[in-house]
């Protein structure tokens, strides 16, 4: 017996690289545009003396703004340090049963890590041939369900009917819908929180609000589930979100015009770049997110293209596992200029 036997050992999630040098960074689905000018204004105007005090314990500044923007009652919202924190708290709070939690075999690769670290039993459900989620596959005994919609890293979206099918067939489990990318396409499951007592919808400001560096995530759900979530949060760390994040998040939510402008620009760039990728012979399923998950034309291997791009200071993401996706590259949608440079570089590599 040694102390090592008492240590909680896990294989951690691997985040995308954050290189210090200036590169074309299309590897972590960040927003290519800066946050709303109202974020800068709010932070510039912040009295730093308040940093002497602990932040708002119930994240009121941010949660009030979220509730009025989304038209959700105050007791139905919860915020955290990025949606990773919110999701992690959801796993801890909602998945304490013995049956396995279900999620797709190809999805956000943090889900199995949280399951492992919290010792939650889980089972992965294979996507179909076209990387689609089949709602009927989620009709078996389980201790919870997690669906990313649009899914990551595929970008494929599931309609609201299909999401509702999963929620309504799992009334004895909590169903988490991770909508990290919903502002770029797909239908939100937000209306379901009024209709069902077992669904939670998770969002982030890291992508469509251009605030990845602030770490702001939130979720909406029935009051009872939000209460359980708060009970867990207050049992781990009462003051999760810092004061500047609360101020910046509220300011970002307050500038809807800017939000609509940058998200529609990204969608437009995605359409144009997708067309050019197809011209180069890449194949991919239609993306509803701020990235495209594409396989290069034979005989080129995704890993080769990944390395060649990196040598030229263009960073995209390549997942070696699971094997079914190792032939793909996940390419974040940047500015039109960045995508033009990528297109030209890919043309050279494929020559």
| Chain positions contacting ligand PMP, by CB under 6 A | 82-84, 108, 148, 152, 178, 180, 204, 206, 212, 217
Q: Specify the residue, 83 or 346, whose C-beta has the smaller distance to ligand PMP.
A: 83
**Number of Cβ atoms within 10 Å of the Cβ of 310:** 16
Q: If you search the block for the tokens 């067939």, which residue do you land on?
A: 169
Nearer to ligand PMP, 151 or 269 (CB): 151
Shortest distance in whole angstroms from residue 96 CB to ligand PMP? 21
SS3 79: strand
CB 338, min distance to ligand PMP, A: 19
> Taking the complex as a whole, how short is the minimal distance between the CB of residue 213 and ligand PMP, in angstroms?
10
Nearer to ligand PMP by C-beta: 36 or 346? 36
Nearest-angstrom CA–CA distance, 152 and 251: 28
Shortest Å, Cβ 66 to ligand PMP: 14
Query: Do 152 and 106 form a contact (C-beta atoms < 8 A)?
Result: no
CA atoms of 328 and 282, how far apart (whole Å): 9
Q: Which residues of 31-48 are buried (b: 16+ CB within 10 A; e: fewer)?
A: bbeebbebbeebeeeeee
Helix intervals (H) in 71-124: 82-94, 111-117
Chain CA centroid to CA 284, Å? 20
Tell me the backbone φ, ψ of residue 242, rounded to 5 degrees.
-85, 160
When the beta carbons of 173 and 332 are compared against ligand PMP, the nearer one is 332
Closest distance of CB 217 from ligand PMP, Å = 4
Judged by CB, which is closer to ligand PMP: 173, or 206? 206
Q: Report the nearest approach of ligand PMP to the CB of residue 248 (Å).
A: 14
Residues 6 or more apart whose Cβ sits within 8 Å of residue 317: 16, 27, 28, 153, 329, 330, 331, 332
CA distances 101 to 89, 115, 141, 189, 221, Å, are: 15, 8, 9, 20, 19
And the tokens for 253?
């939510």
Nearest-approach distance from CB 279 to ligand PMP, in angstroms: 28
Q: Which is nearer to ligand PMP, 170 or 204 (CB)?
A: 204
- Residue pointed to by tokens 């956000």: 108
Q: Specify the residue, 38 or 109, whose C-beta has the smaller distance to ligand PMP.
A: 109
């Amino acid at each position: 017996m040694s102390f090592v036997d008492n240590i909680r050992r896990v294989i951690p999630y691997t985040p995308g690289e954050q290189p210090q040098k200036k590169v074309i960074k299309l590897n972590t689905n960040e927003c290519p545009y800066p946050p709303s000018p109202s974020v800068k204004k709010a932070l510039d105007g912040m009295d730093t003396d308040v940093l002497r005090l602990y932040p708002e314990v119930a994240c009121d500044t941010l949660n009030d703004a979220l509730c009025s923007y989304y038209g959700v009652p105050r007791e139905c919202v919860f915020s955290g340090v990025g949606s990773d924190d919110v999701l992690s708290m959801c796993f801890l709070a909602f998945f304490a049963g013995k049956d396995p939690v279900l999620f797709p075999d190809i999805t956000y690769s943090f889900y199995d890590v949280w399951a492992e670290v919290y010792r939650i039993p889980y089972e992965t459900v294979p996507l179909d041939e076209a990387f689609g989620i089949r709602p009927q596959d989620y009709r078996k005994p389980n201790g919870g369900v997690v669906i990313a919609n649009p899914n990551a890293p595929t970008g494929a979206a599931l309609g609201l009917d299909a999401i509702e099918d999963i929620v309504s067939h799992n009334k004895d489990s909590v169903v988490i819908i991770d909508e990290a990318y919903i502002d770029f396409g797909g239908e939100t499951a937000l209306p379901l929180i009024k209709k069902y007592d077992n669904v939670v919808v998770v969002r982030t400001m890291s992508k469509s609000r251009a605030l990845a560096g602030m770490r702001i995530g939130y979720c909406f759900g029935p009051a009872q589930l939000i209460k359980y979530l708060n009970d867990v949060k207050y049992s781990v760390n009462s003051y999760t979100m810092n004061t500047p994040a609360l101020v910046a998040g509220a300011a970002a939510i307050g500038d809807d015009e800017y939000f609509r402008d940058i998200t529609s620009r990204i969608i437009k760039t995605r359409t144009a770049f997708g067309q050019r990728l197809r011209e180069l012979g890449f194949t991919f399923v239609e993306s509803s997110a701020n990235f495209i998950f594409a396989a290069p034309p034979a005989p080129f291997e995704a890993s080769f293209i990944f390395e060649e791009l990196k040598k030229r200071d263009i960073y995209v993401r390549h997942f070696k596992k699971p094997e079914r996706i190792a032939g793909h590259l996940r390419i974040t949608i940047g500015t039109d200029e960045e995508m033009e440079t990528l297109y030209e570089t890919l043309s050279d590599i494929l020559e």
